[in-house]
Each structure stands twice: as C-alpha cells, then as structure tokens.
Amino acid sequence: MRQIETYLFGGTPLLLLSCIIACSSGSATLEMTNASVADITGPNANINVSNDSTAAYCETSVAVVPSQYCVLHNCMPSENVVIGYNKVTAPPAQGWGVSTNLGTSYVAHQSDDTNPTYAWPTSITFPDNSTLSGYISDPTVVATGHLNQVAFTTIALTNANDTYVVLVLSTDGGHTFAKTLVVSDSYGSKVDQPIAAADTTTGDVYVSWRNNFTNTLVRRVHINGSGNFYPAPDPIQDISNNFAVDTSNYGNMAMAVQGGVRRSDGTYTNVYFAYPNRYGDVALDFNNISDCSQVSNIWDFSIDTIWYLTTASVSSTGGWTWGSSNQIYEDGNFPDCTMPYQIQSGNRNRPQIAYVGGATPRIAVLVSVSQTKMGDNDPSHTGTRAILRESSDGVNWDYNIPVCGQYTDYNVLVNGQLPSNEPYCMQFGASLAYFVGNSNSPIAWAWHDTRDGTDGLHVSMWGTSINAGPVYDNKNSARLTALGNGVPWVQGLSCNETAWGGYEGMAGDAAGGGFYAAWGDSRITFPTKYTQVFTENFLPP
C-alpha cells in the first residue's frame, strides 16, 4: 500500500471519494466502529422517484436548490430537492424528480413527456444545423447558488448521430428546464462523460468532458441571477496536457470547485480534478468493457489503478494556472467485475470529489483498498473496503471504515489485512455528500452491497455518515433499503452496461440537516430488470 498524497491548493481542503468499491460475498450484519446497527427506513423510506416500470432509469445525480419563495416568506422548507437520471428508451431521454417537501414526495418528469404543465427543450440549434433526436446519458444536476436555479448537464444526440454536451437551466427550482446552451459548441461531434460543478459564489458552472476520445475539454459557463447565460461563456479550454495520465482515453474524471478564493492579485476559483490511470483491464475488449460473462473469478481481471489529483486556479478573466498532479492512492488489485459469469461488470473506478469550505481545513478521502483475510493467502479472497480518511494537514490521517461484519476495533486493517473474523461482501456504486459551505459538515456515503443475499447476486443499499469532530467518533451505518418487498433485488442487465448505471448521486441539505441518496434498483421490475430510481433521506448520527 502506498502513502496517499493529497495536494492542498493554497492550504485549502478537499473531500474526495476515490473509487467505486467491491468485495466478496457475505450475509453478515454491518457495523461501524462503536456504533449500533439500525435500518435507515424512516418516514420517507425508499421513494420510487421515476415510478415507471416500462423503462429503465439509472445514473443518478442530486442537487438541493434554494427556494426563492421560502427565503422571502421565512417558511420551511427553504429548498427543493432535484434528482436527475437517465431514461433508457428509444429515442433516449432524461428524467428528473422534484420534491418541495424535504424529500417526502417527488413529482417525476421526463424530457420526452408532452405534458404542457412543465418545459424541457424539444429542439436545439446545433453548430452543424442538425436536429435533436434525444438526450443520451451522463446527467449531472448542480445548484448554481442563485435562488431557484439548477443546471442539468447531459449529452444530446442529433439526427446525424453526433453528440454534444448541453446545459439545460431551470429558474423555478427544478420544475421546468426552459433554457439551453450547447456547451461543447463546434469543438468536435463525439462527446462522452460530461461532468459539472458550480461556483456558488458567482453562479458559474464548470463543465468538462471527453471529446472524440482524443482530448479533455473544460468550459466555464456564466449564469447570472436573472437566469441568463451572461456574460458569454468562456472559450473552451483543451486541458489534456495538464494531467498525470491521458484522461481522454481513460475517462472516469470527477471535478469540484472552490469559489471566492481571495488573493493579493485578485479573486480566483480553484478547480480540482480527480481521475484514475485506467478505465478497465486491457485483457478485456475496450469496446465491451462491461462484459464479465467469461470471468470465473472476479480477480482474474484485477488491475493496478492509481487515482490522481490535479488542481487549477482560474482568474475572474478566465486565465487558467495549473498546479501539480499528485497521487491520491494506488490499488494494485482493483477488480473490473464484482461477480463472476455476469453480463455487466458493475464496478467502475470513477471517483467522486467535493470541496468542503470553511476556515478549518478538512480533507476526507474515500478509497478502494485491496486487502486479504488474515491467515488466508487465497488471492480470490482479496476484497476492497470503502475507507474514508480524514486529515487536517494532508499528512496525518484518521480511518473511518464501513466493515462487512461486526468488529469493535476501528483499525479494521491489521498489517494491511482483514481481521480473521471479517466476512466478505461486495460494495460498489458508491456516492458521497456533505453540507455545502459548512466546514463542520458531517460526511455521508452510500453504496450497493451484497451482504443481505447469500449468492452474491442479490444487492441492497447501505449508507453511513460521520460527524466532524474527534478521531473515530460518531460512526453510524445502516441499510437504506428495508428487507422484504423485493429487497435485496437480483442484479439484472439494464441501462446498457450495468444493473444500476455508471455512477450514483447524493446531496447534503444543510437547512434540513440530512442527506439525500438516490440509486437505481430492480426490486419491483424483475424479471424485466428495468431499473427504477429510488431515494432515501437520512440524518447524520
């Protein structure tokens, strides 16, 4: 295991989730350090947001959007919860759900719906004069920081079979999305994996994507308080040569933004990029990377994966100054496949990253760590755990580990190995969240988990959160899905590549004091296996 190196730009902290997680199967109850186990199945337990069993929905993203009405009238709630996701249909579409009551209920919309009571752009002017055929994949929703504003980035497909990155803007808290900007402009016509992050001090949204599988691009989009793209978006930046590896080839990048950085030479925005050095095992066909049907052991195609952090500082006039690239973590045995003889892989080394603001430096890193069971040298028993590491200086780290069984010592790793009484489980599709603008924010993360089944093919959702404070304090961990009524559900093929998509989303609600997790599962649609988007909100310990 190599030492984690974290780069602090100007002494500011980061929060990083590096790597989707996977472990071997088991059915024991989860326990976090010095915390009891209890199902998180509160009054809003597992709401079906998409609520449409005729299509598959997946790849979730969550934003908490300040509501202008409640700010003006001093009422609660003071924000809307917006969950964006893919709708896998022909032609492809996007979907989203909106809650105005702190996640108690959601109203679902779809971009291909003709309901006149809300809006979504059905026509776009593209640089090549082609017409819109649909919206494909990789949605991200972010609150801009302006009241009632939420930006939805995704990929638009044209009748010429070209693709463009588009940003669709809502100015009414996520109910309608009426304004559209073609972010990728005429810079190529094949795009993939767009990501977005907002500078909530200005309303600017930074959008990055892979272009023609040859370069990585980024663009800053200015959005004012009136909901206009003003001033005009910055020119597109080709940032391919600023990373430690060729990100245009490997992809799976994540981005976070820290706004309002005051320096003697002006006010700047720091942009943080996290990414792996590998997309998948070279022994598998790159064009069929999710095919694990020939894998008899998930460790047959494990890969040496390194996650890096690269930073940049952006001036108010749009000038980019790049910092160094530093290794975050190396996992020498990251598995492509989470289970053998399955069509989909279910595992992605795509990281997630967020900046936690405030005067007190806080860094937290959630990484995939390969480890073996004590006294067991069988490589097929090697697993990974979702380890959250916190630091105030980027050098000395604390551990917070959601183990797969009951274990009372916080130091789950003993000489780099699992303790002898630690059972196995597979954890993957992880997401994390925190309270924006709160340096003492608790941190939460959630993941798909196989422990509630006995065959490694049934999964449920688990989550945990920790409060800011003393080392190893206030751990909590629990199911986000109550057992029964289709839970755990069978992993099934949907959303083209996996049974849940390529990533999941979460958001923290500082005003309400809780977290909103969203994910795709097939509990009610098996054997058709059309994934539905469910959500759960839960409180920190």
Q: Taking the domains of the chain in order of start, what are their residue ranges?
A: 9-278+316-538
Here the contacts of 373-382 (C-beta below 8 Å, separation 24 or greater) are 373/417, 373/418, 373/420, 373/422, 374/414, 374/415, 374/417, 374/418, 374/419, 374/420, 375/420, 379/299, 379/333, 380/24, 380/297, 380/299, 381/24, 381/424, 382/299, 382/302, 382/333
- Across 3-29, b (16+ Cβ under 10 Å) vs e yields ebebbbbeebbbbbbbbbbbbbbbbbe
Name which of 236-240, 269-273, 290-294 the model is least confident about: 290-294
Please name the helix (run of DSSP H) or strand (run of DSSP E) that holds residue 248, with its range, or none: helix 247-250
pLDDT of residue 374: 52
Cβ–Cβ < 8 Å for 40, 134: no
Burial status of residue 30 (CB atoms within 10 A of its CB: 0-12, 13-18, 19 or more): buried
pLDDT band at 437, cuts 50/70/90? low
pLDDT of residue 527: 66
Residues 6+ apart with CB under 8 A from 524: 48, 53, 486, 532
pLDDT of residue 32: 30
pLDDT of residue 203: 96
Give the mean pLDDT of 320-332.
83
pLDDT(10) > 50? no
Give the mean pLDDT of 152-165.
93
- CA 186 from chain center: how many Å? 28
Q: Compute the mean pLDDT over every residue in the chain, rounded to the nearest whole number.
A: 75
Name which of 6-10, 43-47, 85-89 the model is least confident about: 6-10
Per DSSP, the three-state class of 201 is coil
Bigger pLDDT: 384 vs 49: 49
CA-CA distances (angstroms) from residue 420 to 28, 34, 294, 456?
14, 19, 31, 21
Amino acid identity of 496?
N
Rounded to whole angstroms, the Cα distance separating 303 from 131 reads 41
Give the mean pLDDT of 104-122.
83
pLDDT of residue 443: 79
| Domain 9-278+316-538 annotated CATH 2.130.10 | yes
pLDDT of residue 387: 65
Q: What is the dihedral of CA 155, 158, 160, 165, to 10 degrees?
A: -30
Give the mean pLDDT of 166-173.
95
Say what the pTM is.
0.86
pLDDT of residue 318: 92
- Among 11-15, 120-124, 487-491, top mean pLDDT goes to 120-124
pLDDT band at 80, cuts 50/70/90? very high
Q: Which of 447, 537, 536, 530 is nearest to 58 (CA)?
A: 530
Name which of 51-60, 444-453, 461-470 the model is least confident about: 461-470
pLDDT tens, 183-217? Answer: 998 766 789 899 999 999 999 999 999 988 788 99
Per DSSP, the three-state class of 73 is helix
Q: Which of 123, 95, 117 is nearest to 108 (CA)?
A: 95
